[in-house]
Amino acid sequence: MVIKVLGSGCPKCKKLEENVRKALDESGLTAEVEKVTDMNKIMEHGVMMTPGLVVDDKVVSTGKVLAPKKIIPLLNK
């Protein structure tokens, strides 16, 4: 599984990345976590509001900092 956190590096983007890592720890899942800061690559996903969360090339959230308990169900799909 590949998880991408899309954002410019703002505090919300950093918090989402932290929460993704916590969700992986809590769920026992393993994944490659990538931080994408290039605006062109972010826009390639169709994300206009950051932070964005992409799981296996599917956008699952935009514009929100999800808590780990909200991220876990998105990883189990």
Q: Which is catalytic among the residues 2, 8, 9, 10?
A: 10
First-last CA distance in the chain: 11
Contacting residues for 38 by C-beta, under 8 A, at least 6 apart: none
Asked about 10 being catalytic, the answer comes back as yes
Q: Which residues are bridge partners to 2 per DSSP?
A: 32
Asked about 13 being catalytic, the answer comes back as yes
CA atoms within 13 Å, Cβ hemisphere of 15 = 10
Q: Which is catalytic among the residues 3, 5, 13, 42?
A: 13
What positions carry a catalytic annotation?
10, 13
